[in-house]
Structure 1
Amino acid sequence: MSSVLSNQQRVPVHGLFIDGRQVPASRADLLDVLNPATGELLAQISHASEADVDRAVKSAHAAFESDEWSAMSNRTRAKLINKLADVFEAHLEEMYHLETANNGRSLNETRAQISRLPDFFRYNAGLAIARRDSVIPVDGNYLNYTIRTPIGVVGNSTPFNHPLMIMVKSLAPTLASGCTTVVKPSEYTPLTTLRLAKLFVEAGLPPGVFNVVTGLGPTTGKALAEHPLLAKWVLTGGTEAGRITGALAGTNFAHQTLELGGKTPVLVFDDFDVDQAVNYAAFGAFVGAGQTCICGSRQIVQDSIYDEFVEKLAAKAKAIRIGNPADPSVQLGPVVSARQQQRVLNYVRIGLEEDKARLVAGGKAPADPSLKNGFFVEPTVFADVTPDMRIFQEEVFGPFVSVSKFSTEAQALAMANDSPFGLAGAVRTKDVTRAHRVAARLKCGIVWINDHHRLDPASPWGGIKDSGIGRECGTESFDQHFETKSVMVRMDDTPFDWYKDTSSQRRLN
C-alpha cells in the first residue's frame, strides 16, 4: 500500500494529529489513500509506530488530567460540545465531498448520512447537563450516594465503510462525558477524521483531547489496543479483529465496546406489499455498496410471494445506476478497495460453484469501460439459498444479497436465528401482533419493523454473539464512559467499638 511519489504526482501528505497539531511520524514510510471510484491517489498518510501511539495516548492522558479539561464544569463542557456541533455543521458541504472521494459512497447517500451527525454532539451535550448521580436507600441509618467520574482515555478504531458516522458515535459521548481519545481511522478512509480533529481544535477543544494516529491494524491498531493507559477500547470492524484487539485491551482490563460483523435477516411475510418489500430489500442490501454491518443480506421470504419477490428484486438490482459517486445521479458507488472487490466476486464464485445457488442479478464488475479503474461490483442477488450454504452464513460486505424461502413463522425464525451473528434483524408484516412477537424472538440487538437501517443518537446500537458487546448511542453509551463510586455515610453519632463487646454486635456489613 505504500509508495514513493514522483514530482509529477504531488498529493497532500498527512502527518499524525497529536496534542492539537499535525506532527510527523517516527517512521518514514507512507501509506497511499486511493479514490475507490477511479483508483487515483488522493493523499498519503503517516504510518504510526508504537512510539507514536504512545506519544498520542500520553497526550490524551495528560489532557484528561489537566485542569483545563478535567475541572471544566458540565455546563461549560456542554456549551463547548454544542459549539463543536455548530462548527461541524458549518463544514458539512466540505465533508460530503471529502468523504465521498475517500470511501466511494454516492454523494447523495453521504449527504443524507453526515448531515445528521452534528446532532449526536448536541444530544450528548444534553446528557452532560442532565446527568444525575444517585442517592440509594439502604438498610440502617446511612446515607448512600454515588459519584460518577469519567474513565479516562478512550482508544477508538474506526472502519472504512462509514468513517465519520461511526467515529462520531463514539466521539460525541467521549467528549461530552469528559474523557479524551485517540482515534485510529481505517488506513483506507482517514481524511475526514483528520479534518474534523483540526476543525475541533481550532474551535476551542483543548489540545490532546482528540488525537488521531493513522496506520495499519496489525501495527498501529495493535499498539493502541494494548496500551496500558487506555481506560476504554472501542472498535467497529470484523469479528476476528474484535477477538484479537479485545484480548489485547482485556490484558489491561479496559472497558470495551465492540461492534463487529453481521448477517442481518429480513423476514418478509405475505401480508406485506411485495413492491415495498423489494424497495426495502434493495435499500437494506445495496446502500453503501452493501458495506454495512447491518446490511439486509438475508431476505427470508414467505413461499406464497417468493417468486414474485425474487423476480422484482432482480429487476430492481439491474436498474440501479452505477458510476462515479461524485455524480449526484449515481445510485451505487464502488466498494472501498481492489481487495474488497475481489472478496465480493469470490463469494459470487462460492455461491455458484460451492453452494449451487441461483444467480438472478449481478455477479460481476460492470462492463462500462469508464469504470474499469474503480472497484465496482454490480448489485448481486442469489435466489434459492438455504441455511447450509456459505453465502447464507458468512458476511460478504458488499452489494450482495441472498433470498430464501419459508412457509411458517416458526420456520422463518429458525432460519433467521441460524447464524453466529446477532447485530440486527428486520420484519416486514402488517400484522401488529406478529411484528412484536417476531421482534421479541429474533436473537439480535436491533430490530426494524417495516423499515431498515435507521439510527438515532438516542437509540442504543449494538449486537450479541459474534456481533460484539456494548452499546453505542443513547444513555447506554454515555453511561459507559464513567466509573461509579459508592459513598456510604454513617448518620449515627452513637459510639462504636466492635471489640469492646463483640458478642453483642448484630451487624457486620
Structure 2
Amino acid sequence: MSDLATNLQKAEKYLQRFRDTGIQNRIGGKDMDGGDGETFETISPVDLKPLCNVARGTVGDIDLAAKTAMAAFKEWADFPAKDRAKILHEIADGIEARAEEIAFMECIDTGQSLRFMSKAALRGAANFRFFADKCLTARDGQSLYAPGQLNVTNRKPIGPVGIITPWNTPFMLSTWKIAPALAAGCTVVHKPAEFSPITARILLEIAEESGLPAGVWNLVNGMGEDAGRALTEHPDIKAIGFVGESRTGTYIMQQASETLKRFHFELGGKNPVVVFDDADLERAADAAVFMIYSLNGERCTSSSRLLVQDTIYDKFTQMVAKKAKNITVGHPLDPNTTVGPLIHPEHEQKVLEYLQIGKDEGATVAAGGGRPDNYTTGCYVAPTLFTNANNNMRIAREEIFGPVLTAIPFKDEAEALEIANDTEYGLTGYLWTSDVTRALRFSDALEAGMIWVNSENTRHLPAPFGGTKASGIGRDGGDWSFDFYMETKNIAFAMTEHRIPKLGG
C-alpha cells in the first residue's frame, strides 16, 4: 500500500466521528446546536465532497458564549499563574499526542500539504509552551522614579476577548492567538473560518481535557455576516483579535466602533522580496520560491512580488521558473506533494481570474498559468511565475493569495525602494544582498512591520509580529501579545509631602 493510500485510510478514520456527529458549538463546556438548528457543510478542496455538517451559530449563540466568557472571567483571571501555566503546558502535551490527527484533518479541510501540516501541531504546541512559561511574569510591570514620587505599573487581563481566525493555517493561527489570551488571564470566544472548522474543535477538546475550566474558552462556528458580526458588536467582548483580509478588518472596526473595542489585526500583504546582483542567487531563489509556493501561496507573509536588479533579472527569473516547474502538485496527504488544492472553489476561481488578468495586462507566463495537467476536479492551480511585469499591474498591486509570483526589474537601490514601498500593504519584506550598509539603509527605509535580510520567514517567538499600513494594527509575540490582552495600570506613590495647590480657601 502506498503512503498516500495509508494516509487516506488514517484520515478517514479520524474524520468518521465528525461525519457521524457533525461539529457543534461548544459553550460553557457543553455541546450545542446552532440556535435555529441550521448547519452548513464543510467540503474538501481535494474533490469538493462534503466532510461533515457544522452548526451555524447565530446572534443568540454568540450572546450566550460572550456572557459565559464574562461569567468565567474573574475566576480565570484570579487563577494562580503557576496553575494557569500548568494547564497550558498540558494543552501543549495534548496537541503533540494528537499531532497526526491534527495534521491529517488540516490537510483534508484546507488542502495544505502534509509536508507543511505535519509541523502544524508542533508549532501550535510550541506557542502554548512559550506563553505557558510567560504566565508567571505576565502581570509584571515597572517601577518609575520621579522627584518625590514612585510610580509602579502592573498589568491586568482586559476581559473576555473575541478571536476570529482564518482558513489558511487555522490550527497554528488559533494557537498563536488563544495561547497568549489564556496566559494573560482572558477568557475567549473563538469563531473559526467557515471554510476550515475541524481543527478548532480538536483544539478546544484538548484544552478541556487538559483541565481548562468550562466557559473559559467557547467555540461558535458560523458565518462572518452573522456570528462574526455579533461577536465584534457584543458589549461583553473587550477586544477582537482577527487574522484575515484587510477589507474584513475595516468592517470589524466599523461594527465594533460603538463598544470602543481594542483591535489586533493581522491582515493582507503584497510583500516584496528584493534581490540585488551581489546576492547569493541560489539561496535567494530557493527562499523566494519557498515563500510564495509553500502553503499553496495562501499565507499573509508570502513574497508575492519579486523585485530583481536588471543586471541579473533574466538569469534569476529563469532560475525561479525552473524551480517552480519542478514543484510537485498533488493530493495534500501524499508526502511527495508540495502544492495541494486551494481552500475552496470560490478562492480557486479568484486566483484563476488573476492569472487571466496578468496575461491580459501583458505579463509573460514563465511557469504555470492555469490549472495543472491531469486535474479535472479539486481546486488546483499550478505554481505560476509572471515576468516582464511592472508595479502598476493588478497582479503586482492586489493580494492574490495563491501560488502566483510577479517578477519586476529595477535599476538601482533607489528604484527598488520606490517600487517596494509603492503598495497599500506593509506586512513583510525580504532583502538579499551581501552589502551590509545597503542592508541597513534599505531595511530602515522599507515600509513593513517585519523584514528578513538574507533569509526567508524564520519566526522567533519573542520577536514582534505584525504589519503597517493596510496590513494590520498591533503586534503579537512575546510581551507584545500581553500589551494587547492586558491593561496597564500605573499607581503613583508620593514619597514626600509635596506642595498641593489650594483652591477655595
**Do the structures match in fold with TM over 0.5?**
yes
Larger radius of gyration, structure 1 or 2?
1
Alignment of structure 1 residues 438-457 onto 2, 5 Å? 438-457=442-461
2:371 to 342, 346, 365: 365
1:315 matched to which residue of 2?
A: 322
In the alignment, structure 2 segments of 5+ residues that lack a partner are 1-17
- What corresponds to 1:356 in structure 2? 362
Q: Is the 8 A contact 1:77 1:176 kept in 2?
A: yes
* Residues paired across the two proteins, number: 487
Identity, in percent, stands at 37
* Cα 1:144–1:340 shift into 2, 3 Å: same
CA offsets 1:109-147 (integer angstroms, 9 cap, x no match): 11134322212112112222134222221232x332223
CA displacement 1:468-494 (0-9 Å, x = unmatched): 101111211122211122222334579
Match of 2:7 in 1: none
Residue 338 of structure 2 is matched in structure 1 by 331
Task: Give the 3-state SS of the residue equivalent to 2:290 in structure 1.
Answer: helix
**Counterpart of 1:116 in 2: which secondary structure?**
helix
- Counterpart CA distance in 2 for 1:174 and 1:250 is 22
- Taking only aligned residues, the RMSD between alpha carbons, in angstroms, comes to 1.7
Q: Within 1, Cα distance between the matches of 2:497 and 2:404? A: 71
Per the TM alignment, residue 497 of structure 1 is displaced from its structure 2 partner at its CA by 8.9
Distance 2:129 2:119 in 1: 18
Asked if structure 2 preserves the Cα contact closer than 8 Å seen for 1:124 and 1:478, the reply is no
Structure 1 residue 401 corresponds to structure 2 residue 410: no
Which residue in 2 is equivalent to 1:249?
256
After TM superposition, the score normalised by the length of structure 1 is: 0.92
The range that moved more, 119-128 or 403-412, is: 119-128
- The alignment status of 1:285 with 2:289, answered yes or no, reads no
Map of 1:135 onto structure 2? 143
Residue correspondence of structure 1 range 459-498 to structure 2 within 5 A: 459-492=463-496, 498=502
Give the Cα separation in 2 of the matches to 1:400 and 1:374.
18
Name the amino acid aligned to 1:30: T
DSSP-derived class of the 2:441 partner: helix
Which AA in structure 1 matches 2:156? Answer: T
**Alignment counterpart, residue 82 of structure 1, candidates 65, 89, 112:** 89
Task: State the match for 1:294 in structure 2.
Answer: 301
Q: Does 1:161 align with 2:165?
A: no
Q: Is the 8 A contact 1:11 1:42 kept in 2?
A: no
Identify the range of structure 1 (168-177 vs 23-32) with the bigger mean alpha-carbon deviation: 23-32
Aligned AA (1:364) = G
Gaps of 5+ in 1: 1-8, 502-509
Do the aligned partners of residues 10 and 256 (structure 1) sit closer, same or farther apart at CA in structure 2, a change above 3 Å counting? Answer: closer
1:101 Cα offset (Å)? 1.0
Q: Distance in 1 between matches of 2:480 and 2:441?
A: 25
Indicate the residue corresponding to 1:190 in structure 2: 197
Summarize the Cα distance change of 1:28–1:275 in structure 2 as closer, same or farther, 3 Å threshold.
Answer: same
TM-score by length of 2: 0.93
Range 228-237 or range 475-484, more displaced: 475-484
Aligned positions of 1:90-169 closer than 5 A? 90-131=97-138, 132-140=140-148, 142-169=149-176
Give the structure 2 partner of residue 21 of structure 1: 30
Counterpart AA for 1:479? D
**Cα distance change, pair 45–496 in 1 and its aligned pair in 2 (3 A):** same
Write the letter of the residue equivalent to 1:367.
Answer: D
Which amino acid letter does the alignment assign opposite residue 447 of structure 2? K
Indicate the residue corresponding to 1:44 in structure 2. Answer: 53
Q: CA contact under 8 A between 1:11 and 1:44: conserved in structure 2?
A: no
Which position in structure 2 is the counterpart of 1:275?
282
- Is the partner of 1:484 in helix, strand or coil? strand
Paired residues of 2:287 and 2:455 also in contact (CA < 8 A): yes
The one-letter amino acid paired with 1:332 is V
